[in-house]
Amino acid sequence: MDVLVNQGHSVSTEPFDDQKPGTSGLRKKVARFQEKHYVENFIQSIFDTLPELAGGSLVIGGDGRYFNDQAIQTIIQVVVANGVEKLIIGKDGLLSTPAAAHLIRHTNSDAGIILSASHNPGGPEGDFGIKLNMKNGGPSPQSITDAIYENTKSVRTFKKIDCHSVDLASTGQTQVGPALVEVIDPVQDYADLMETQFDFDAIRQMPVRGIRMVFDAMSAVTGPYACEIFENRLGFPSGTVINAQPLKDFGGGHPDPNPVHAHELFDRMMSEGSPEFGAASDGDGDRNLIVGRSCPVSPSDSLALLAANAHLVPAFSKGLAGIARSMPTSSAVDRVAEKLGVPLHVTPTGWKFFGNLMDAGLVNLCGEESAGTGGAHVREKDGIWAVLFWLNILAVTSKSVQDIMTDHWQTFGRTFYQRHDFEGLDETRASEFFSALEKEAGNLVGRGVDGLTVVSTEVFEYKDPTTNEIANNQGVQLFLDGHSRLVFRLSGTGTTGATLRVYLERLETRPEAFSTDVADSLSGLTKLYQELLNLKHSLGVTEPTTVV
């Protein structure tokens, strides 16, 4: 049916000064997005930057957090007025980020607008975000986001049609003025894709053999996907997926899949009689947590193990073309790539850098320390894909998570790894501190504590081999004797203040030391960075707010 539409018109506006997208789009507090014309200005700036989107098709969806449905109705009015001829929207406004990335490619759409703040909290007091993905399904490159930001600083009018709200609760097609709006099942196409990636027949034998799993959807978008795939298609019993209903405020939780925020899953997996396998995903479905019975798996270890066992999985039946990791991610996967003779690429943080490499056929497995793993099936990290990858390996090997990890460390050594986050810092003070660190990093060579000595430093710079674009000042690395490393960077995913991330890494090759507590193994590195940086004086902090 048609939705009553008045003629599109231009609306006068004033620019906002804070619409610079970060590594994962524009993220702010919900209240900021609710301000008059805030959403319209940003969407109009996308079309001012990419006028070629007029006449094309667009995928729209999000993680269902608070303000998702209102934002979609506003976006419909602006994009139709700007000439988009077809909109594909997930039912109830839902699309996980990897499902949206797939849908863009699957429907040959021209771009996608994903509404999410990923792993950040939701609700009226929480966060919201808008991200533009390109025709390849991946996040827009920095050249595009920089141009959008420039347009946000000068936008004075936006185009808009006046129309009744589009019914997103039912699948089907609706005519909105000259544009066709199609509301689709957000799960079906993605679930079908997963069946082409993994050996579902082998995985179906796991519940038959009495192997139990639990998946925590964290009251976020992956609940419907997980129920369809793990329970309906793979045969794990009803109730395998917990917190399966997507909620606007994620049930009051923080949908970040780590032991701190996924404590319900973590406590269950550490208890007597736990399932053999546990997993979780985040707000928009692109991150993952893997945990065996009394055996948590760090994201960096997970990437290395998946690379070492990729030959067991149909998605990699033609082999590994190459592997990519973000610079802060541990070097555990480097040793796997070296042994396999597979090219390794080290990029800045941000999945868009991986997308370029995948488009060029240079890599087909990528990962970040912040619980993101993915392949060339889409151009985003993919939480459920990573969980299925693990299930496929478990099904084929008939080993436990603990046994697989132990075998891996026996071959490659264990890389002890942690990330210390200092959140809510004063932005000006943090920026000045980090600029000084970049300039003075070289002077830290020769400094040390308790036998750990800085032997070299680097301010990380990346030249994209596919575009020749340069990404400068992507973090500071301190390389230490004994195969240890410290990395410092300012994060671009928060919405309040600045976040300093400190990454600690140490390789252990003695099997008798593999069971050492992670914090104990890295205590020397912790002491070293605290003494070198003097954060109490520089930033007024002494202890990290979060350790993962």
Q: Rounded to whole angstroms, how far apart are CA atoms 82 and 514?
A: 58
Q: Rounded to whole angstroms, how far apart are CA atoms 270 and 468?
A: 47
Residue 366 tokens, joined? 């990528």
316 secondary structure, DSSP code: G
Q: Rounded to whole angstroms, how far apart are CA atoms 238 and 230?
A: 9
333's enclosing H/E stretch is: helix 332-340
**Residue 113 bridge partners (DSSP):** 60, 132
Burial of 530 (0-12, 13-18, 19+ CB in 10 A): middle
**Residue 457 bridge partners (DSSP):** 478
DSSP string of 379-416, one letter each residue: SS--HHHHHHHHHHHHHHH---HHHHHHHHHHHH-EEE
163 secondary structure, DSSP code: B
Give catalytic status of residue 400 as yes or no.
no
Residue 104 tokens, joined? 């863009």
How many helices and strands, by DSSP H and E, does the chain display?
A: 18, 28
449's enclosing H/E stretch is: strand 448-449
**Residue 11 bridge partners (DSSP):** 158
Tell me which amino acid residue 13 is.
T
DSSP string of 182-235, one letter each residue: EEE-TTHHHHHHHHHHS-HHHHHHHHHTT--EEEE-TTSTHHHHHIIIIIIIT-
Q: Rounded to whole angstroms, how far apart are CA atoms 279 and 269?
A: 10
Catalytic residue selected from 45, 96, 116, 118: 118
How large is the angle between the packed helices 38-49 and 142-152, nearest 10 degrees?
120
Catalytic residues: 118
